[in-house]
């Protein structure tokens, strides 16, 4: 069996040297909550171009510093949101570093988000390199929620990892909240583009349980966005923020009847 392949960008360098959770997605989520006109967006998205800090993002380094000061990723994220003037925060799926591991049909293993996304065929199985506990508060908010929205994001590298944490998977199955899965509005550029199987069905097969009560396919997203021609015309991403805002606004105004399909 060949050795696992590891691949990553600047955030991967931080993880490798500091043994921390991935910070890039967390930074982006926090900045999305901030006022778009705020200078913080430009400041914390700034990437250094020279020296040992080349390619590193100021927001990632700020989060790393806060984690060292507080001793907790959850507390660091909360403080970062306060610095941004946000009234909300995010909970990481775990505070313990772990990696996504794909086992291929030839029994080789591939580790790392970028390397996995570049595969040409779907993996045989997906797991975490280390079994990790759920982050503080995660299970509680899932069990107490009225509505849980899953997606849209990259199926294997963004959505699946959280469900590989046993406590989170158990809470998702146990919760009485309405679980809504929103599919990507565009075909992924990742390995998922090589299959005709709907991403949500592939997830359910991997997890051995149904993770949603209501599924919103891309056709339903187009229907909800009928009055948003500009967004539809200029669509360029799997999860455009303006598009999602319109989808959620339209969705929450509609009476919800639980079924397998929208």
CATH code, domain with 170: 3.40.50.10680
Q: Quick check: helix, strand or coil at residue 150?
A: strand
The verdict on residue 104 lying in a domain is no
Kindly state whether residues 79 and 140 are assigned to the same domain: no
Query: What is the domain extent for residue 17?
Result: 7-84
* Least-confidence region, from 14-23, 145-154, 164-173, 179-188: 14-23
The verdict on residue 93 lying in a domain is no
Kindly state whether residues 56 and 146 are assigned to the same domain: no
The verdict on residue 94 lying in a domain is no
User: For 203-224, what is each residue's pLDDT tens digit?
Assistant: 999 999 999 999 988 887 777 7
Kindly state whether residues 149 and 232 are assigned to the same domain: yes
Tally of domains in the chain? 2
pLDDT at 79: 96
Kindly state whether residues 74 and 165 are assigned to the same domain: no
The verdict on residue 73 lying in a domain is yes
* Mean pLDDT score, 84-104: 92
Joined together, the tokens standing for residue 92 give: 């990481």
The verdict on residue 78 lying in a domain is yes
User: For 179-191, what is each residue's pLDDT tens digit?
Assistant: 999 888 777 788 8
State pTM to two decimals.
Answer: 0.79
Contact 130, 141 (CB under 8 A): no
Kindly state whether residues 69 and 137 are assigned to the same domain: no
* Least-confidence region, from 116-120, 122-126, 194-198: 194-198
Give the end of a domain, one of 56, 84, 112: 84
Closest CA to 44 of 25, 61, 65, 64: 61
Average pLDDT, the chain: 82
- Give yes or no for residue 260 having a pLDDT over 50: no
User: For 32-72, what is each residue's pLDDT tens digit?
Assistant: 888 877 888 889 999 999 888 888 899 999 999 999 999 99
């Amino acid at each position: 069996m060949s050795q696992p392949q590891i691949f990553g960008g600047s955030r991967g360098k931080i993880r490798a040297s500091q043994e921390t959770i991935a910070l890039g997605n967390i930074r982006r989520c926090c900045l999305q909550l901030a006022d778009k006109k705020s200078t913080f967006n430009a400041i914390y998205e700034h990437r250094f171009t020279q020296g040992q800090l080349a390619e590193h993002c100021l927001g990632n380094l700020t989060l790393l510093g806060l984690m060292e000061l507080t001793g907790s990723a959850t507390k660091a994220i909360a403080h970062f949101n306060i610095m941004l003037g946000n009234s909300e925060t995010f909970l990481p799926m775990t505070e313990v570093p772990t990696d996504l591991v794909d086992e291929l049909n030839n029994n080789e293993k591939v580790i790392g988000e970028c390397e996995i996304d570049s595969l040409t065929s779907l993996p045989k199985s997906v797991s975490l390199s280390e079994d990790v506990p759920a982050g503080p508060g995660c299970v509680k908010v899932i069990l107490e929620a009225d509505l849980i929205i899953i997606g849209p994001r990259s199926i294997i590298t963004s959505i699946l990892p959280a469900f590989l944490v046993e406590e989170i998977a158990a809470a998702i199955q146990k919760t009485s909240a309405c679980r809504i899965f929103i599919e990507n509005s565009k075909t992924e550029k990742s390995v998922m583009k090589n299959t005709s199987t709907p991403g949500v069905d592939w997830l359910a097969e991997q997890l051995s349980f149904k993770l949603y009560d209501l599924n919103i396919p891309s056709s339903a997203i187009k229907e909800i966005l009928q009055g948003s021609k500009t967004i539809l015309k200029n669509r360029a991403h799997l999860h455009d923020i303006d598009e999602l805002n319109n989808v959620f606004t339209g969705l929450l105004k509609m009476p919800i009847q639980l079924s397998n399909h929208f």
